[in-house]
Amino acid sequence: MHFNELMQEKRYIYLEKIIEAKKNSLRLLINRSTFNIDLPMVQLDFESYISYSVINECFSYSIDNSEISKGDLFRIYTKSRYLDFIKIATNDREDICPSENYIHYQFPCLNHTIDVISCEEPKVTVVSFIYT
């Protein structure tokens, strides 16, 4: 499965687990099942990241008109306040990932909103179990 396919989904999603599986990597396990539809979970692996943030859903801000994104539940922003903040708050490392290559991914889950800034698309794996 590719990330572009996930961007088409319109159901609710739920964060099951977030871990740093390896040093400076990030793994998200996201449940896509709803009350009447049983879909397998997806595991999103970012081999590296610049930043990530988890916010209680109650405190998440609404998208404003200045932000530009694609996707509903699995989003990519080309312009966002979080992306602007990270570009200001971090050192520009041309040797690793120039700031113009930063990609803002967002996952507005029930109970949490997860924002990830990375230079790489996450690897998507369909899974049928939960890590313990």
User: E-strand spans in the chain?
Assistant: 14-19, 26-31, 41-46, 51-56, 68-70, 75-79, 103-108, 112-118, 123-127
Q: What is the pLDDT of residues 50-107, one digit of tens each?
A: 999 999 988 877 667 888 899 988 999 999 999 999 998 887 777 777 778 899 999 9
- Tell me which residue of 80, 81, 120, 68 sits closest to 97, measured CA to CA: 120
Which pLDDT score is estimated for 131? Answer: 59
Which pLDDT score is estimated for 83? Answer: 93
Q: Which of 5-9, 88-92, 116-120, 122-126 has the lowest mean pLDDT?
A: 88-92
Q: What is the pLDDT of residues 9-56, one digit of tens each?
A: 888 899 999 999 899 999 999 998 777 677 889 999 999 999 999 999
pTM: 0.89
Cα 102–88–124 angle (5° rounding)? 25
d(CA 93, CA 87): 11
